[in-house]
Chain A
Amino acid sequence: MSKYLILIYEAEAPYETATPELFGEITQEHDTFSAQVEQHGVTLLGGEALQPTGTATSVRGGSEVTDGPFVETKEALGGYYLIDAPDLDAALAVGKLCPARFGGVEVRPVMTFD
């Protein structure tokens, strides 16, 4: 088994204007996703949603503190899931299930240090 991080990159604007109904719908999608993961032989190790990039602060070189994320892009990292999967095909199957209606996800293997 190997660990993979599913990074959810989405446009932030739709969330700023989302109605409570839409939020409810998306939360439901994530609950459904979490319930389905195990059918693919994959374990969900953790996951969080992030506050929008407007709340981010960057630190460079250990001292220089600046407002905002490192790169301003149309789609920003909005959350992640950490999974344990037998191989990339299983991780991608779960990545395809992951809700990301305003963008997409990136599946990255986690580096291991034995």
Chain B
Amino acid sequence: MTVPDTSAVAAAVADAHRREWALVLAATVRVTRDLDAAEECAQDAFAAALIDWQVHGVPARPGAWLTTTAKRRALNVVRHRGVEHRYLPLLVEEETTPGPGDLVDDEPGLSDDRLRLIVTCCHPALDRSAQVALTLRLMCGLSTADVARAFLVGEATMAARITRAKKKIAVARIPYRVPSAAELPERVDAVLSVVHLLFTTGHTTPAGTELVRRDLVLRAVELCRMLRRLLPRDPAVAGLLALLLLTDARRDTRTAPDGRLVLLEEQDRSRWDRQAIAEGAALVREALSSRPPPRYALQAAIAAVHAESPTWNDTDWHEIVALYGVLTQLWPSPVVALNRAVAIGFARGAAAGLAELDALAGERQLAGYGYLPAARADFLRRLGRVAEARAAYTQALSLTENTVERDFLTGRLGELGGTPV
């Protein structure tokens, strides 16, 4: 083993932090049964690595080295806990004897501490914003400042949110354990919702100047890959990973060099990530073979139709309309209905699409949703109904805060001879 230089060690530690943080923390929590103490021990282990690896070289298995170091510290912390800790509410220990509903070792990942940690972060008793914050902080090892930045809130607000969530886990005794076979699908679904939300937040930030927050997208894909390793036979996990890969495969073509939004129709398909598309398409086929098909698998199938179509004009819109049809049957939602209406517009013409969109006009859930007037505006423009299209673009503009999307809508409005109010 050669002794590396300082920058090589720093890079190795940073790499290990990105890959192994969740593993180290999840194993340490088993010892401390207290999230804060476990976080401190895990952080100490990474700090120790910076010095130790400088002297002894980077170990062959950095994750194992870090876990051992963090757990050793944790044992020390537990041994020296004073009276003030005696009444600290600790995480509920795992049952040692499996009950009738418990999972047997037929899936290797189910015994993984990381699964225990992520289902705890995404427990349904925590509100969604707390689930997301805890997942970024505990699973990805992001600092509170970074988590706050990702969701455009102040650091103090985020710190309070994380503290509240940790307190609820301890006081209400949210257990640190892998749910029973009966509960598992529902709990995995909650985890997948959080990962999906991380991805969509990164993919199109609700406000701000950049269309994509690459860091959030990468974290979401990494988490999803981890879940896939832990639950290799879960079709919902396969479906979400497929959806993320197929959507992210278009990342380089979604904005022009000057930052402008480029629609799917105008994207340079030769620059799509073929490897991600191939991987995603294979996952879609696997996930769709389960009955009923998972929601994310259907969404991924739609993304796959786009990804595998050589040109915009070759797009199989009838297939897409059919997939949205299955999606609305299994999970009725106004947003899915909106997407289906748009697909109908391309399959059967702008007038047909517009009729479908107008049928959704009364949907309360779509009242503040900018994509509805934006889609109407586009069909009206294609039909040459200029004045109505202008009004719809103006309405869409009033409903988005994203600068890149605003610029696009303003551009379209300008082409029709209008100016934003």
Contacts and interface: CB of A to CB of B under 8 A. Distances in A.
B125 interface: yes
A109 B89 CA distance: 12
Contacts of A16: none
B125 A87 contact: no
Interface in A35-94: 86-89, 92
A86 B171 CA distance: 13
A93 to B, nearest CB: 9
B30 to A, nearest CB: 16
Interface string A85-105: 011110010000000000000
A42 to B, nearest CB: 13
Interface in A1-60: 2
Contact of B87 (A86, A88, A109, A114): A114
Interface string B142-179: 00000000000000000000000000000111110001
A89 B172 contact: no
Nearest to B124: A92
Contacts of B86: 114
- Determine the main DSSP class of B at the interface with A: loop
Contacts of B179: 89
A25 B179 CA distance: 34
Most buried by B among A87, A92, A114: A87
A2 B172 CA distance: 9
Most buried by A among B87, B123, B171: B171
Nearest to B170: A109
B183 A89 contact: yes
A8 B125 CA distance: 17
Contacts of B175: 86-89
B92 interface: yes
Nearest to A108: B172
A109 B125 CA distance: 12
A8 to B, nearest CB: 18
A88 B183 CA distance: 14
A77 B183 CA distance: 29
Contacts of B174: 87-89
B172 A109 contact: yes
Interface in B103-148: 123, 125
Interface string B66-91: 00000000000000000000110000
Contacts of A89: 174-175, 179, 183
B171 A92 contact: no
Contacts of B173: 2, 87-88, 109
Given A86-B92, A87-B173, A88-B172, 6 more contacts: A87-B92, A87-B174, A88-B174, A89-B174, A89-B175, A114-B87
Interface of A: 2, 86-89, 92, 109, 114
Interface of B: 86-87, 92, 123, 125, 171-175, 179, 183
